[in-house]
Amino acid sequence: MSFFNKIFVGSVLLILGFSTVSLADESAKLVVEGQPMITRVKAPSHMENVDEIRSGWTFRIKETQSLQMDDFENPGMIFVDKGLDLWNKVEGSKNKACASCHDDASEFKGLRTVMPRWNESANALWSLEDHVNNCRTEQMGAEPLKWGAAPMDSLIAVISLQSRGMPMNVKIDGAVAPLWEIGKELFYTRVGQLDMACSNCHEDNYGIMIRADHLSQGQINGFPAYRLKNAKLNSIHARFKGCMKNIRATPYKVGGDEFRALELYVASRGNGLSSEAPSVRN
């Protein structure tokens, strides 16, 4: 990053409410229900500017960190319970529920760690939301769920929970390679009235305080995540949308091509970190 760019971004952060006070216990270890999580690991080889990747959990204050370490205390688990109710709910013209075909959600162990991924039959990049809606429309004869809505996010939380503790391993070669490059370009492209890119906060300036929030690396291995700020479960694309609004940019469409490509790229930046969903964030 050039000296001029550092000065420019620093000025913007000052406008937004920059502070150098760090409140996170960066040496803490994340253990959830007795299961150790990988929250720090050597950066993937495709990351050129970061040596070590860190879970967003390592940037949170002690009180927030502790919420994620106990399923009884984790407010995100409320949505898992709601998701399990939906899992067993009979819907659609075929009079089926998710459980009619899949029975226990544990059969999806490992799926969250490789998402998003290329779907050969659909000839498209799929997120977990696509799997959910494909099952609903094709197998249940039910209406698709809206991306980012509570029912969808709750079901995604159920599926994601099955992979908790497993390392992220998103593929970036083959058919998804061109889309990964698009996602990378989006990550480094300045947009909005503040003329900022994802990288300005989550690569160039992670570790500092802004608006009483400790800037993280923007990892998404913990999504869907319960945010204390809005007291609900938040999807990956909803967080992307929120970030774009923060820099006064017009957000891309949730579930659209741009956010799909960005999800692929950002997910790959977390390869090696444990899947944590549902995590707890500010």
Mark which of 161, 196, 223 sits at the end of a domain: 161
Catalytic residue among 135, 198, 201, 243: 243
209-210 and 124-126 strand pairing: unpaired
Residues 67 and 171 in one domain: yes
pLDDT one-digit tens code per residue, 2-18: 443 444 444 444 444 44
Residues 187 and 146 in one domain: no
Q: What six digits make up the tokens of 264?
A: 């692929």
**Domain membership of residue 153 as a residue range:** 76-161
For residue 163, name the pLDDT band (cuts at 50, 70, 90).
very high
Predicted local confidence at residue 23, as pLDDT: 59
Mark which of 161, 179, 207 sits at the end of a domain: 161
Residues 69 and 202 in one domain: yes
CATH of the domain at 127: 1.10.760.10
Over the chain, what is the mean pLDDT? 92
pLDDT one-digit tens code per residue, 166-217: 999 999 999 999 999 999 999 999 999 999 999 999 999 999 987 777 899 9
Residues 68 and 107 in one domain: no
181 φ, ψ to 5°? -65, -40
Residues 187 and 67 in one domain: yes
Q: Taking phi first (over 0 means left), then psi (-120 to 50 degrees means alpha), and beta for anything else, what does residue 136 get?
A: alpha
Mark which of 161, 196, 226 sits at the end of a domain: 161
53 pLDDT above the threshold of 60: yes
Q: Taking phi first (over 0 means left), then psi (-120 to 50 degrees means alpha), and beta for anything else, what does residue 211 get?
A: left
Residues 137 and 241 in one domain: no
Q: Which pTM does this prediction carry?
A: 0.90
Predicted local confidence at residue 110, as pLDDT: 98
Residues 184 and 260 in one domain: yes
Residues 190 and 232 in one domain: yes
Residues 55 and 191 in one domain: yes
248 φ, ψ to 5°? 60, 45
Residue with the bigger pLDDT between 282 and 184: it is 184
Q: What six digits make up the tokens of 100?
A: 């009619």
> Which residues, listed in sequence order, are joined to residue 279 by a DSSP beta bridge?
225
For residue 24, name the pLDDT band (cuts at 50, 70, 90).
low
In the chain, the number of structural domains is: 2
Q: Is 198 a catalytic residue?
A: no
Q: CB–CB of 53/40 below 8 Å? A: yes
pLDDT one-digit tens code per residue, 107-157: 999 999 999 999 999 999 999 999 999 999 999 999 999 999 999 999 999
Query: Out of 1-15, 87-101, 202-216, 222-236, which region has the weakest mean confidence (pLDDT)?
Result: 1-15
Residues 137 and 17 in one domain: no
Residues 133 and 268 in one domain: no
Residues 88 and 177 in one domain: no
